[in-house]
Structure 1
């Protein structure tokens, strides 16, 4: 039998997330450069982020040609632009003196693919880089990561928004995220589910 999908959240109807979706808006402009391989990934957190933050701008691509329109748009803006990606030159939001009236760019892909995207697009180096100071571990326990400090793109966006403005309530973002994680865990056989540290998931 063909699986039916919700027309709003695009998840299977038996795992529809609509009941927890509460769209929010923020002053900060969020732009995501998404690697093509992530678009149809079952655990695509950018799709979840867009449900909670409809104003997000998602540009799918890998090479400079894919981002021509975005580059033109950014060059026309007067707001500061930051790339959220840790490197030897990146700073915290406080160190950079960044405010919420900014544009933040996140790169969505595995560490290897994200790094390759940055290498293929040296124009991103024209903008200052930000890294996050987050004490809590990622709640994205259902996806393996080589680094212990790995955050999903959704988590990175939410934490950056809070760093830029501590008064921003990002509960709607984590609500859809946690709903997806819990559904995936519930659907797993008990033996498989036992491999994940479910006690670390925040409600």
Structure 2
């Protein structure tokens, strides 16, 4: 696995002073899909194209967590970038990406936390003709609010305040608010807004299959290759 989140994970592990052990970890995991090998679904990964790009700012050990869904975005969206977030330091490569003239960056975050003049209802790229670059803060809700407040280099960009109609379907981590979507759900909504509807549908289906396999492995349930989640992924597979 060589995408941006996998590389960030490897870099973060290299800096760790002790091995990272995921909560509830019970053994070896597939390095590609991060579930127990007997439940691996790497062979089902869809190949889709998207004009949109994604920039993931990941809080500390987020890239190390098997339940992280930013990884799923990098699986499918080829132009995905991932950076570790630090309050006092900014990766020069991140700043270079944000200044790349081919992109129209926007921060994706609930609108009630942003100044009204920064809020937009659609990706600014739709008007500029540039490629959208969605900046997603990949963290717990408390951490994400801290990142939003303490990242002044993001203050110059508009804020896309999504108003999703559906409640979160993600079941691997609990939030106090059902309307708080996981990172992959947010990314799928962004792709839909940008016109990358096929990629958005594939990401939603990929997330559902990940959740199903992850929980099946956790509880040692029999593998169901005909499950609704796997059937929903079929339209996005090559040759479908």
TM-score (norm 1): 0.81
Q: Distance in 2 between matches of 1:49 and 1:169?
A: 10
Q: How many residues align?
A: 190
2:168 aligns with one of 138, 160, 167: 138
1:187 shift after superposition? 4.2
Q: Distance in 2 between matches of 1:97 and 1:54?
A: 21
Aligned-pair Cα RMSD in Å: 2.7
Correspondences of 1:100-111 after superposition (within 5 Å):
101-111=131-141
Residues 63, 23 of structure 1: CA spacing in aligned structure 2 closer, same or farther, 3 A cutoff? Answer: farther
Correspondences of 1:39-188 after superposition (within 5 Å):
39-88=63-112, 89=116, 90-93=119-122, 98-99=125-126, 101-165=131-195, 167-187=197-217
Answer whether contact 1:33 1:58 (CA < 8 A) is retained. yes
Q: Which moves more between the two structures, 155-164 or 130-139?
A: 130-139
Q: Which moves more between the two structures, 145-154 or 71-80?
A: 71-80
Q: Which runs of 5+ in 1 are unaligned?
A: 191-201
Which 4+ residue blocks in structure 1 deviate beyond 6 angstroms? none
Q: Distance in 1 between matches of 2:80 and 2:196?
A: 19
Residues 14, 66 of structure 1: CA spacing in aligned structure 2 closer, same or farther, 3 A cutoff? Answer: farther
Residues 133, 98 of structure 1: CA spacing in aligned structure 2 closer, same or farther, 3 A cutoff? Answer: farther
Answer whether contact 2:72 2:207 (CA < 8 A) is retained. yes
Q: Distance in 2 between matches of 1:45 and 1:65?
A: 25
Residues 123, 3 of structure 1: CA spacing in aligned structure 2 closer, same or farther, 3 A cutoff? Answer: same
